[in-house]
Structures are given as C-alpha cells and as structure tokens.
Amino acid sequence: MESARPQLQGPPATAVRAHIAGTVWKVEVDFGDEVEEGQTVVILESMKMEMPVESPVSGRVTAIRAEQGRFVEEGETLIELG
C-alpha cells in the first residue's frame, strides 16, 4: 500500500535573506507576527553600521532563523514568512 504524500498547508514560505554578511544585532519580529511588505524584520551590524533587513512581502512569521549576536552570511535565511 502506498503512503499518502504530505500536503502543503497554505502558501509556500517566503525566505527573508541577509543582503550583506554581518552580525544579527536585533530581531524585530516574533513567531506568528503579521508583517507588511517593506517592514524591518531584522537589523544587521556590518562594518560598524546598522543595516535593516526588510520583508519583501506581507505575511505571517512562520520561522525565525536569526539569532541575536550570530554572524550570518550574505543570502542566509533570517526569517520565513507564510
């Protein structure tokens, strides 16, 4: 007997990624928060400057991959929205 394939619930996740390598200075959202397109979700510190990371779309925070004080690489997923 063949097992059932898992079904996606809701729209696919959107990854909010770091646009520059740096240290996570502050996470501005919590799990489950609704965010608007263009809203700052994470602030990175790079070369002694604060760099806001904005959400490319509106949605609900389904995962937080960023952790305050952790170094992240350019392109790394910081937040997932569903």
Domain ranges, ordered by start, for the chain = 21-81
Cα 34 from Cα 52, distance rounded (Å): 18
Domain 21-81 indexed as CATH 1.10.3720.10: no
> What predicted TM-score, i.e. pTM, was given to this entire model?
0.83
Instruction: Return mean pLDDT, the chain.
Output: 89
Q: Which tens digits make up the pLDDT trace of 5-47?
A: 433 355 668 999 999 999 999 999 999 999 999 999 999 999 9
User: Distance of alpha carbon 12 from its chain centroid, rounded?
Assistant: 14
